[in-house]
Structure 1
């Protein structure tokens, strides 16, 4: 049984810039082992920048990002990936010149314990039927499945998913929800950025609300009902 009191990720005072634009202003939060934690907020709040900063893709950053007891703020993105963090970006990053099989097998394994190809096909049977198809010829839902499947092979156990349901049909959104629930049961830790609050509310253990590059509030799943009025104001829903 996972010890949910141990934090896999501790972010403290995280600052980030794109050029001269100061995007994150002292972001502080944590993610416990085995949790699903969701970052909520309006467009432009800094959610995606937070994920990219943790991953080392935003190079101008400061503060502290401790993963499994190790400070990662000074590491390059490839070393952060090898430490066990994987990012599924909003734009999915599927390579047009590669077919589904090649896209799936492209990322290197960084640790034992990743899902086998057969286990991935069990999660996403659509992919097995489209192995020879060019990656960008898949539907939006299939591309999202492929983007998630690709990081599950690597052995990374800390997954960051950026807007995984954006633009997808309801049936695909439900399938991705079931996948996240299964991954959680299998011991994965997930940090989720998601605009579809009602969908995320069924999956996450805790929620942080971001606004203008700050964390402004935090709720446990059990406390959502009592805080819906505040959330409607924060999110404009």
Structure 2
């Protein structure tokens, strides 16, 4: 579904991605693991077209997207849930949830979203500023689920959240996989990542340094600890 080859990226004069290549097959959940500053979020931003300068090849369902604008990339069926969540503070939960346009059939319906995230149903009239961090993360994920996008990019969805919320997000990702959706997940918490992912790419200093299948994590734990410093 997604093929990235020799991806380079810059913020101004700062060269942050150095020949990144990765593949995500349809229906997979794949994680990008690495320390802070490894290039994980920059890779996601490059895929979405919001990195200021990039070169290389990014193909989604066979279409080259590296030269496309973010809005055109989104309408192809790629949705991004950024680390900062992007909740509109002045809008209610209902308004935030229904604001993004539906780009294709097959999105998750509102009733199913309310089943996955019952907190949101209880807070439909609340403003974005009134939500807890966990509720904001639920809303940010739910908002892209209903668009009909087939590839979801989730950037650090568990960061700073309580264990019970992390478990709920894990259940949601597994439910998305069961629906046939594809997820590229940025994570530092590999203990969470291993509960949802099929494969794990490891990044260091803007480079892809390893790929480990989920079933091989235990055998590679010492190496993974070296990469992540955990």
TM range (shorter): over 0.9
Equivalent position of 2:61 in the other structure: 68
Which shifted more, 115-124 or 84-93? 115-124
1:166 paired to 2:173: no
1: CA distance, partners of 2:72 / 2:52? 13
What is the Cα-based RMSD across aligned positions, in Å? 0.6
1:94 paired to 2:87: yes
Equivalent position of 1:5 in the other structure: none
How is 1:146-161 mapped onto 2 (pairs within 5 angstroms)?
146-161=139-154
Aligned counterpart in structure 2 of residue 127 of structure 1, from 120, 139, 158:
120
2: CA distance, partners of 1:45 / 1:28? 14
Per the TM alignment, residue 137 of structure 1 is displaced from its structure 2 partner at its CA by 1.1
Aligned counterpart in structure 2 of residue 16 of structure 1, from 5, 9, 21:
9
The answer for unaligned runs of 5 or more in structure 1 is 1-7
1:42 paired to 2:35: yes
2: CA distance, partners of 1:112 / 1:210? 34
Per the TM alignment, residue 18 of structure 1 is displaced from its structure 2 partner at its CA by 0.5
Q: Is the 8 A contact 2:104 2:148 kept in 1?
A: yes
Aligned counterpart in structure 2 of residue 52 of structure 1, from 45, 53, 66:
45
Q: Give TM-score scaled by structure 1 length.
A: 0.96
How is 1:78-227 mapped onto 2 (pairs within 5 angstroms)?
78-227=71-220
1: CA distance, partners of 2:216 / 2:72? 37
Count of aligned positions: 230
Per the TM alignment, residue 59 of structure 1 is displaced from its structure 2 partner at its CA by 2.9
Runs of 4+ in 1 over 6 A off after TM superposition: none
The answer for unaligned runs of 5 or more in structure 2 is none
Per the TM alignment, residue 136 of structure 1 is displaced from its structure 2 partner at its CA by 2.0
Q: Give TM-score scaled by structure 2 length.
A: 0.99
Per the TM alignment, residue 122 of structure 1 is displaced from its structure 2 partner at its CA by 1.0
2: CA distance, partners of 1:51 / 1:222? 25
2: CA distance, partners of 1:36 / 1:184? 7
1: CA distance, partners of 2:89 / 2:195? 34
1: CA distance, partners of 2:129 / 2:222? 41
